[in-house]
Structure 1
């Protein structure tokens, strides 16, 4: 195994991370005028859904490429069309993407554009939905859906490859505010045998508070973030931020008239209720979602 040379911890000249010392496990993209222009577009409240997707995908591809730089490689020789031998490298192990629903799904396209055949799994944690129907009962508040002792986010659903413990995981969530959902997702991955050092968290925008909390709990996990913002406001929103990325990027709610999500604890089935369809995520199915047209 040949460990990749670590990248430098970059900070953006106009971010609040300037004059702050980043944890050694945090890596940001090199500050360039092009990157700042991309963030200016996706932060603009008047940017169309199509432009938001296009330009955020450009950033996500850069983030994924940076994340891949931190994976270990092994020596690999190939024969070129000229008949010569080229001594290069290949990745040391299998890779898996895991998106945190709902907003994390919007990052999957960018991931697949870099890694075509990568397996992508999903994880659903309290706080990702506006409301939920659980076992036939509509839940508008989240009472009873948090850990009673810690009041921390609670897992609703996860579906991973059987060999997840042997894979390197790229964990996807566009925004790191308080870090609660991301930390719960890492806890779940580690419960499935994934080593902390085998997880790379990739996101578009982080708050300094969230990074500090997240990295303090998981010091061996690497974070690849595109931008570190000023901080959180009194509502725990990232400022200046870019709003609700899941809604703005055209989640099921916007594109399909999404209303609610149903979780059946007895079967492990999750259904997104839409205006014209029901999208089912079944623990017995390998496909991420199966549209059942009404």
Structure 2
């Protein structure tokens, strides 16, 4: 039996790349007469140290890494999702919360940042921002991916969403693309979250990543976000996309006869 080339790994310490951009700030405070006063601080450029944009994590080999963050909230929302008695509104909410947490973990050392100094109301302070000039591309695979990606904009300062519709033949389990809103070409160095709640047989997610690679995206520029993953899908991803990172709420041991985990 062929040795699996994917491994389950914990998140690594964060990396802090840096750039520069102009910043201005203001503080709004209520007064005793009910009016709001705006206290403005001078616009300034961040005084950045001589650092360059760091690439996303580079591994010592080409194994695919699968991250199952051990956070109790992730375990909680996975449990809610998998309970057959969970009502639909709560199921949708659980999916959104799980997606938020997984994207938070996946973005930990992946985003380009700006570091420098700003004037606060009290003193000069060293600060760090996520660079808004490089929005993360979020690719939810319709329709279920929409719920898992619902809160992407609430945790990422800048995003662009590209919808991708993929249906699966229930007899052959082969994927068919019925909606493709991906750009013809992604910017160099773009970062992409591919959001697919269930990685079971792997046909849908493999098709989605193939389309991204046709548009100039490398394996290490992609992070897959899923609620549940299973070995058949992980095996396919490992064989086709070495260096890929997958973040999932849990890993199932098997898929059923209909190709579901």
TM-score in terms of structure 1 length: 0.61
Looking at CA atoms only, which structure, 1 or 2, has the larger radius of gyration? 2
Find 2:232's aligned residue among 197, 202, 209: 209
The question of whether the paired residues in 1 share the 8 Å contact of 2:138 and 2:160 is answered with yes
- The Cα of 1:117 is off from its aligned counterpart by 4.5
Find 1:199's aligned residue among 215, 222, 230: 222
- The Cα of 1:210 is off from its aligned counterpart by 1.3
Q: Is residue 228 from structure 1 mapped to residue 226 from structure 2 by the alignment?
A: no
- The Cα of 1:176 is off from its aligned counterpart by 0.3
Q: Secondary structure at the match of 1:230?
A: coil
The question of whether the paired residues in 2 share the 8 Å contact of 1:173 and 1:202 is answered with yes
Q: 1:75/1:108 Cα in 2 relative to 1: closer, same or farther (>3 Å)?
A: closer
Q: Is residue 104 from structure 1 mapped to residue 145 from structure 2 by the alignment?
A: yes
The question of whether the paired residues in 2 share the 8 Å contact of 1:95 and 1:118 is answered with yes
Q: Secondary structure at the match of 2:165?
A: strand
Find 2:193's aligned residue among 162, 165, 170: 170
The equivalent of 1:250 in structure 2 is none
TM-score in terms of structure 2 length: 0.68
> For residues 267-278 of structure 1, what are the structure 2 equivalents within 5 Å?
none
- The Cα of 1:62 is off from its aligned counterpart by 0.6
> For residues 252-263 of structure 1, what are the structure 2 equivalents within 5 Å?
none
**Structure-1 separation of matches of 2:57 and 2:70:** 16
Write out per-residue CA displacement over residues 215-247 of structure 1, whole angstroms, 9 at most, x where no aligned residue: 221112211111111211222221xxxxxxxxx
Find 1:122's aligned residue among 147, 163, 184: 163
- The Cα of 1:56 is off from its aligned counterpart by 2.2
The equivalent of 1:243 in structure 2 is none
The equivalent of 2:104 in structure 1 is 65
**Structure-1 separation of matches of 2:124 and 2:55:** 26
**Structure-2 separation of matches of 1:52 and 1:153:** 25
Write out per-residue CA displacement over residues 25-81 of structure 1, whole angstroms, 9 at most, x where no aligned residue: 21111153x433322222111211111122222211110101111414345214041
The equivalent of 2:74 in structure 1 is 35
Write out per-residue CA displacement over residues 172-217 of structure 1, whole angstroms, 9 at most, x where no aligned residue: 1100001111000000011011122111110111012211221221
Q: RMSD value over aligned CA atoms?
A: 2.8
The question of whether the paired residues in 1 share the 8 Å contact of 2:162 and 2:181 is answered with yes
- The Cα of 1:158 is off from its aligned counterpart by 1.2
Structure 2 residues not aligned, in runs of 5+? 1-52
Aligned length: 203
**Structure-2 separation of matches of 1:180 and 1:56:** 22
Q: 1:60/1:212 Cα in 2 relative to 1: closer, same or farther (>3 Å)?
A: same
Write out per-residue CA displacement over residues 131-153 of structure 1, whole angstroms, 9 at most, x where no aligned residue: xxxxxxxxxx88xxxxxxxx953
**Structure-2 separation of matches of 1:72 and 1:37:** 27
